[in-house]
């Protein structure tokens, strides 16, 4: 079991460029989440998907879009990157039987 | 609405000393509470959780936490810390058991251990 995997691990973008962060889980979990982590602010929820085929906005959705491609995969897209989106992005998943979330290793994104 | 407050952003302690990381929550309904640990340049991993039953919860690496409903607290403790406990610790709360309910995280407490 790989758990939750994220690609890429690091990325540098120029302002205005687009990119997609990939996330996959092999635990057959229903729910998946995208967070950003900034110093002193903890984790802030960007979008989540309670089940395949559904997505909902979290606390800080502006500038992002998501796709729940299937039960395993949940991608986060930045259409036009801005320096304010420089952050570490974490994907997480959560099953019905276990209440906690399982986290991926993160993607460190820098927007110049 | 739920919220989580971690009262200390940084806690420095000496090796082998006891430590307490404080967490208070607000919620109008029953809650489930978690502590996660994040080692440098890694993702978060679960330290312990309170779902129901005994209010004293034991986790990995010698950590424990006590759920106090009247004080709406879930403080994390360890009687004797090691250098390897240097990490950031996050308290989190959710009110729903289903996977559709969101988990709200505190802003984190950075634990630094001095030799």
* pLDDT band, very low/low/confident/very high, at B72 (cuts 50, 70, 90): very high
Q: Is residue B52 less than 8 Å (CB to CB) from chain A?
A: no
Per-residue model confidence (pLDDT) at position B45: 93
pLDDT above 90 covers what percent of chain B? 70
pLDDT, averaged per 10 consecutive residues of chain A (112 residues), comes to 92 97 95 92 91 92 95 96 97 80 94 96
* CA separation for the pair B107, B91 (Å, rounded): 8
Task: Inform me whether the C-beta atom of residue B103 falls under 8 Å from chain A C-beta atoms.
Answer: yes
- pLDDT at B113 (0 to 100): 95
Distance CA A89, CA A44 (A): 10
State whether residue A68 sits within 8 Å of chain B by CB: no
* Residue A30 touches chain B, beta carbons under 8 Å: yes
Question: What's the 3-state SS for chain A?
Answer: CCCEEEECCEEEECCCCCEEEEEEECCCCCEEEEEEECCCCCEEEEEEECCCCCCEECCCCCCCEEEECCCCEEEEEECCCCHHHCEEEEEEEECCCCCCCEECCCEEEEEC
Comparing CB atoms, the residue among A45, A95, A106 nearest residue B102 is A45
Give the tokens for residue B64: 């424990």
Q: Which of A41, A48, A100 sits opposite B107 (nearest CB)?
A: A41
How long is chain A? 112
The neighbouring-strand residues paired with B33 are: B50, B93
CA dihedral B64, B19, A45, B58 (to 10 degrees): -10
Largest Cα–Cα separation, chain A: 42
Contact B94 A51 (CB under 8 A): no
B9-29: per-residue pLDDT in tens? 999 999 999 999 999 998 767
């Amino acid at each position: 079991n790989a758990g939750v995997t994220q690609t890429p691990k690091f990325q540098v973008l120029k302002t205005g460029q687009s990119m997609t962060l990939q996330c996959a889980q092999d635990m057959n979990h229903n729910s998946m989440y995208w967070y950003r982590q900034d110093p002193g602010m903890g984790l802030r929820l960007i979008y989540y998907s309670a089940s395949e085929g559904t997505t909902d906005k979290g606390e800080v959705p502006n500038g992002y879009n998501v796709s729940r491609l299937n039960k395993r995969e949940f991608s986060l897209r930045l259409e036009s990157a801005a320096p304010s989106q420089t952050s570490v992005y974490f994907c997480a998943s959560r099953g019905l039987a276990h209440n906690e979330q399982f986290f991926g290793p993160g993607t460190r994104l820098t927007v110049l | 609405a739920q919220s989580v407050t971690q009262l200390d952003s940084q806690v420095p302690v000496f090796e082998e000393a006891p430590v307490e990381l404080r967490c208070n929550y607000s919620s109008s309904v029953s809650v489930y509470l978690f502590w996660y640990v994040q080692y440098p340049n890694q993702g978060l991993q679960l330290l312990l959780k309170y779902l129901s039953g005994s209010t004293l919860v034991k986790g990995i690496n010698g950590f424990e936490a006590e759920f106090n409903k009247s004080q709406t607290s879930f403080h994390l403790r360890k009687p004797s810390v090691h250098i390897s406990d240097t990490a950031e610790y996050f308290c989190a709360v959710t009110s729903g058991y289903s996977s559709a309910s969101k988990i709200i995280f505190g802003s984190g407490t950075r634990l630094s251990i001095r030799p």
